[in-house]
Chains A and B, each alone.
Chain A
Amino acid sequence: MHQHLDSLHKKYLASLKRENRQVLVVQLGILISFFVFWEVAARQRWIDPLLFSMPSRIWNLLVTRVSDGSLFTHASVTMFETLFGFMLGTGIGTLLAAILWWSRFISKVLDPYLVVLNSMPKVALGPILIVGLGPGFTSIIAMGALVSVVITTMVVFTAFREVDSNYLKVMNTFGASKKQTFRYVIFPASLPTIISTLKVNVGLSWVGVIVGEFLVSKQGLGYLIIYGFQVFNFTLVLMSLLTIAILATIMYKIVEALEQKLLKQY
């Protein structure tokens, strides 16, 4: 019986492995055929290579830009702005949520304002930011933070409020102060929500920073895109897009790894 079970288990594991392999093969197949089709279509003039470029040209440009170091400069500027904006947005959002949690009165007063701010497209504030903070890093980082800060505040505040009241009862029977309750219960209990807003904010901050760079910058991947568009160099535009896709994915994966490490016990 035992041996039979063992062999069943092995078969089950093998079938799981086979399924994973199949998924991977199809995923790679889609990716490769996409690029092959693109290349062929451009070379055969089915699509205009001036507008849509082709993978080989993008690759060549990528190699030159990487070897002369200019891509690195642009990418690191954008990365820096995104990281900063993202941390600022999440940090300030969490802080605001804590203030709202602290005072029921303030939270009631601010509720309609938050709703309005949340439904407003934050990138529309770009010109005002530039006027206020000057055309440069500060505006772009502010933009990266602004797109995520309101939604973070709302989501994290809801998480703070929804902490099981029995946990608070435990704290009250110990005679805990409000500060202690926040530190020992409210914050750690809401950590899963805060981390999951981090994941959303990574994407949002990229939006804010790229739009910010469209508007003002002289450096960065957003600048490369808008510059390439203006001089009609779509190979440059697509290469920048590709770089953004790769960097954004890496950042998302890092946050995901952080999530797994921090939330082991939840």
Chain B
Amino acid sequence: MATLQLQDVSLGYLTKREATLALESITFSVEDGEFLSILGPSGCGKTTLLSIIAGLLTPTTGQVTLGNQPINATSNIGYMLQQDYLFPWRTIEDNITLGLKIKGVYSDFTKMTALNWLTQLGLADKKDLFPNQLSGGMRQRVALVRMLATDPAMMLLDEPFSALDYQTKLKLEDLVFQTLKREKKTAILVTHDIAEAIAMSDRVILLSPRPGRIHRIFNIPNDIAEALPFQARQHKDFNDQFQSIWKEMESLASTS
């Protein structure tokens, strides 16, 4: 059963000066529980594509459906940004329960679930602190909890590791990967980091820039796809994967 389907999605951007085509006939589907990465040079419309999938932008043409329902702003989709964007005036507990309150499903039960997530990600003792008392890695973990707390049908990750230092990034990749796999969540990761895309996903979509089109889809071999990202990076075939995607990206850069 395909959960997410994009059918011939295009998006035009309108500004005073011109109308530009940001994305052109994007068609793909994501299976239930699959981890997909969207990779591409900057300006290829990765984040725009993610915003469309999240229902924040309406495509000019084409359709996005999740489990046969058209996507809209109230679809239950989690979105994780480049930075944590926790609200500094709310405690950690108030931050992770905010989504529940907005959706009107805040109750003792859902609150316990949210706090349970916090415990699982090793931050139980931080619930009464404020975001500025936490490190960058911890804050991004809280942002993950904030998203998981609303029990989304699908997770969208918009370069969530790009603002972290390398060590924290590797650890967090493992943690996010484990958590999402255990919960069998469908996830789409947007990144410009080839290694990260290979290490985390089952499939990698490479976009070409201006307008964003699907250039190629890479299937990551099972051994690498199923291993923890940190282990995947040590796999003997990892480098070959990296090289083949690298070459494709280089060819994109030279043609544009």
Contacts and interface: CB of A to CB of B under 8 A. Distances in A.
A174 B151 CA distance: 11
Interface residues of A, number: 19
Contacts of B74: 175
B102 A266 contact: no
A205 B81 CA distance: 43
A184 interface: yes
Contacts of A185: 87
Task: With a 10 A CB-CB cut-off, give which of A166, A167, A265 has the most chain B CB atoms.
Answer: A265
A171 B95 CA distance: 12
A167 B103 contact: no
B78 A266 contact: no
B130 A180 contact: no
A185 B156 CA distance: 22
Given A166-B83, A167-B85, A188-B89, A175 B102 contact: yes
Interface in A136-188: 164, 166-167, 169-176, 180, 184-185, 188
Given A180-B102, A184-B98, A174 B150 contact: yes
Interface string B116-151: 000000000000001010000000000000000010
B172 interface: no
A251 interface: no
Interface residues on B, range: 20 to 34
B56 to A, nearest CB: 5
A266 B85 contact: no
Contact of B130 (A175, A188, A265): A265
A171 B81 contact: no
A215 to B, nearest CB: 42
B102 A171 contact: yes
A191 B87 CA distance: 13
Given A173-B54, A173-B56, A184 B102 contact: yes
A84 B9 CA distance: 57
Given A265-B88, A266-B89, A169 B81 contact: yes
B77 interface: yes
6 contacts: A166-B81, A167-B87, A169-B79, A175-B103, A185-B87, A188-B87
Interface of B: 54, 56, 73-75, 77-79, 81, 83, 85, 87-90, 98-99, 101-103, 130, 132, 150
